[in-house]
């Protein structure tokens, strides 16, 4: 399938938002980083808005968006609802932070759950029986991705805000999150490798005789050595870079800026490339049409 950039952007920022909100909730529960929560909140809000705008670009009749609430089983509707829930939570956080109140553990817990749920909902809207590469493993991937993106962004905010306590926590979380992300990517790849496609042998579509017909024996081949190899390997290497940066930075709290910068870029690159890969793998079970 062709890469749908609006959706790549949307899901990326959803993971950033949710990862960040999740990380903030963890901080709140830990009682850390009171001062940078507002910045982080703004960052998560901005990310949500960018993601939202991104997804709008994918709609052809965005003026009809309210129709979008029409059908509750649809993934998009659920995403929409999720966005609204997240927006409400952000507002609640905003009010709380503005009021200088202590963030209740309950709110953090709810936010954490909502963030996880939103990631799952997003993943869920791409689960398509028709597309073997878009299986439940997508949930694993997105969760892993949010686990990496949230802490890495938090790390960035902490560095900028020079909050060494949070920086330390964020680096630790980044390490764990990136590792989780790596495992998730590999898990995703492993699940894809089991995908099967309807096989028709030789076939021809009269309307596209100038392109060779598609035959997919194994998605693994595409990932490891085929069209998707660059995206696959580069994104894995990038995650490894994030892990390495975080590992090294653990000893450099207060001076982790360069590592942070590399980690943020590497994490973003890994996230985007892997999403492109997911589109590349987005072959239908039925390849004739």
Partner 1 sequence: MGNLTMSRRTFVKTAAITGAAAAAFGASTHTALAEETYPVVSGQDTVAVKTCCRGCGKMECGVKVIVQNGRAIRVEGDEGAFQSMGNCCTKSQSSIQAAYHPDRLHYPMKRTNPKGEEPGWQRISWDEAMQTVIDNFMEIKAKHGGEAIACQVGTSRIWCMHSESILKNMLETPNNVEAWQICKGPRHFATTMVSQFAMSWMETICRPKVYVQWGGASELSNYDDSCRTTVDVASRADVHISVDPRMANMGKEADYWQHLRPGTDAALGLAWTNVIIEKKLYDELYTKKWTNAPFLVCEDMEPSGFPTVRTDGSYWDVKTHLLKESDIKEGGSPYKFLVYDNNWEALKDQGIEHEYGAFTWFNADQEGNIDDTGGFWEGENYDSVKARETGREAAQDNLLPGQTQGWVPDLLPFDPAIDPALEGEFEIALKDGRTVKVKPVWEYYKARAAEYTPEVAAEITGIPAEEIEAAATAYGTRLDPESGYGNGGIQYMLAIEHFCNCIQTCRVFDNLVGITGNLDTPGGNRGPTIVPIDGDLQGFSAWAPGATTPPEEVNLKQIGRDKFPLLGWWQYWADSHSVWNAAITGDPYPLRALWNESGNFMSQSNTTRAWEALCSLDFYVDLNLWHTPQNDTADIILPVAHWIELNSPRASQGASGAMGATVKCVQPPAEAKYDPEIVMDLARRMNWPWTTEEGNEWPDIQWQLDDSIKLLTDDELTYTTWHVENGVPTFERHGVPMAEVTPKYKTWDEYVAAFQEHGWWQAKDVEPRNWGTYRRYQTGALRARDRVWGRLDYTAGKGIGNWKPGFFTPTMKQEIWSTVMESHHPDHPEWFVPSYCEPPHGPKDGDRIKEYPLTATTGRRIPVYFHSEHRQLPWCRELWPVPRVEINPKTAAEYGIEQGDWVWIETEWGKIREVADLYYGVKEDVINLEHTWWYPEVQDAGHGWQLSQVNQLIDHDAQDPHAGSSNLRAYQVKIYKATPENSPFGNPVPCDSTGKPIIHTSDDPRLKEWLPTYEGRE
Partner 2 sequence: MTKAIITDVNRCVGCLACSVACKAVNSVPIGNYWNKVVRVGPNPIPGGSGHYPDVYMYFLPISCQHCENPECVHVCPTEASHIAEDGTVQVDKEKCIGCQFCVMACPYGVRYLNEEERVVEKCTLCEQKLLQGELPQCVSQCGGNARWVGDTDEGLDSFVGSFDSAGNQRKMTEFLEPFEESDIYHLPDVGNKPSFAYILRGQHWEGGDE
- Minimum distance of partner 1 from residue 283's CB (angstroms): 17
Closest to partner 2 by CB, 61 or 251: 61
- Give phi and psi for 2, each to the nearest 5: -65, 145
Name the burial class of residue 101, with classes exposed (0-12), middle (13-18) and buried (19+) by CB atoms within 10 angstroms of its CB: exposed
DSSP calls for 148-197: HHHHHHHHHHHHHHT-HHHHHHHHHHHHHHHHHHHHHHHHHHHHHHT---
Residue 56 has, within 13 A of its CA and on its CB side, a CA count of 12
How many residues touch partner 1 under the rule CB under 8 A: the total is: 10
| Interface with partner 1, residue 2, by CB under 8 A | no
Q: Which does 70 bind (CB under 5 to 8 A by kind): partner 2, partner 1, none?
A: partner 2
Q: Which of 213, 226, 248, 262 is in the footprint of partner 1 by CB under 8 A?
A: 213
| Interface with partner 1, residue 61, by CB under 8 A | no
Question: Cα angle vertex 58, ends 132, 286, to 5°?
Answer: 25
CB of 153 closer than 8 Å to CB of 264 = yes
| Interface with partner 1, residue 73, by CB under 8 A | no
Q: Which of 38, 116, 128, 240 is in the footprint of partner 2 by CB under 8 A?
A: 128
What number of other Cβ atoms are within 10 A of residue 237's Cβ?
14
Q: Which does 125 bind (CB under 5 to 8 A by kind): partner 2, partner 1, none?
A: partner 2
Restricting to residues 177-206, which ones interact with partner 1 according to CB under 8 A? 202, 204, 206
- Minimum distance of partner 1 from residue 57's CB (angstroms): 22
d(CA 17, CA 39): 13
- Minimum distance of partner 1 from residue 28's CB (angstroms): 53
CB of 169 closer than 8 Å to CB of 161 = no
Q: Which does 214 bind (CB under 5 to 8 A by kind): partner 1, partner 2, none?
A: none
Q: Which does 76 bind (CB under 5 to 8 A by kind): partner 2, partner 1, none?
A: partner 2
Residues of this chain that interact with partner 2 (CB under 8 A) are 1, 4, 58-62, 64-65, 67-71, 73-77, 80, 125-126, 128-131, 134, 196, 198-207, 282, 284-286, 288-289
């Amino acid at each position: 399938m062709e890469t749908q950039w609006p959706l790549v952007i949307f899901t990326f920022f959803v993971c950033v938002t949710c990862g960040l909100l999740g990380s903030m909730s963890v901080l709140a529960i830990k009682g850390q980083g009171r001062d940078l929560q507002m910045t982080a909140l703004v960052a998560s809000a901005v990310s949500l808005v960018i993601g939202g705008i991104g997804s709008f670009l994918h709609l052809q009749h965005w003026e009809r968006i309210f129709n979008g609430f029409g059908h509750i089983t649809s993934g998009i509707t659920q995403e929409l609802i999720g966005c609204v829930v997240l927006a409400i939570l952000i507002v609640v956080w905003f009010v709380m932070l503005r009021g200088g109140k202590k963030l209740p553990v309950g709110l953090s817990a709810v936010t954490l759950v909502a963030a996880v749920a939103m990631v799952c909902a997003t993943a869920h809207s791409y689960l398509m029986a028709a597309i073997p590469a878009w299986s439940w493993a997508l949930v694993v991937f997105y969760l892993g991705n949010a686990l990496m993106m949230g802490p890495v962004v938090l790390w960035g905010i902490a560095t900028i805000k020079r909050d060494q306590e949070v920086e330390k926590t964020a680096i630790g979380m980044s390490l764990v999150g990136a590792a989780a992300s790596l495992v998730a990517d590999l898990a995703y790849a492993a699940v894809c490798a089991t995908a099967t496609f309807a096989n028709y042998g030789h076939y021809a579509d009269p309307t596209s005789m100038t392109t060779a017909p598609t035959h997919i024996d194994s998605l693994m081949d595409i990932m490891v050595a085929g069209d998707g190899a660059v995206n696959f390997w580069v994104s894995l290497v990038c995650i490894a870079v994030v892990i390495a940066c975080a590992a090294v930075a653990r000893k450099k709290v207060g001076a982790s800026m360069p590592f942070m910068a590399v980690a943020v870029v590497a994490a973003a690159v890994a996230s985007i490339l892997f999403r492109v890969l997911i589109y590349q793998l987005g072959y239908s079970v039925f390849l004739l049409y």
